[in-house]
Amino acid sequence: MQATVVDTFAWGHYKDTARQAGFAVAKAEAAKCQKYHNLQSNYHFKPIEIETTGVYGKSTAPFLSGLAKKLVGMSGDPRERQWLHQRLSLAVVRGIAATILACVQVRSDIIFSFLVALMF
Q: Give the pLDDT of the chain (120 residues) as one tens digit per residue.
A: 677 888 887 777 778 888 888 888 888 899 888 888 888 788 888 888 898 888 888 989 899 999 999 999 999 999 999 999 999 888 888 888 877 776 666 555 666 666 677 666
Model pLDDT, residue 83: 94
pLDDT given at position 41: 80
Instruction: Output the pLDDT for position 101.
Output: 73
Return the pLDDT at 72.
95
Do 71 and 87 meet the contact criterion of CB atoms below 8 Å apart? no
SS (H, E, C) the chain: CCEEEECCCCCCCHHHHHHCCCHHHHHHHHHHHHHCHHHHHCCCCCCEEEECCCCECCCHHHHHHHHHHHHHHHHCCCCHHHHHHHHHHHHHHHHHHHHHHHHCCCCCHHHHHHHHHHHC
User: Domain containing 102: what range?
Assistant: 3-119
Q: Domain count for the chain, please give it.
A: 1
Contact criterion met (CB below 8 Å) for 4 and 48: yes
Q: Indicate the length of the chain as a whole number.
A: 120
pTM of the model: 0.70
pLDDT recorded at residue 38: 86
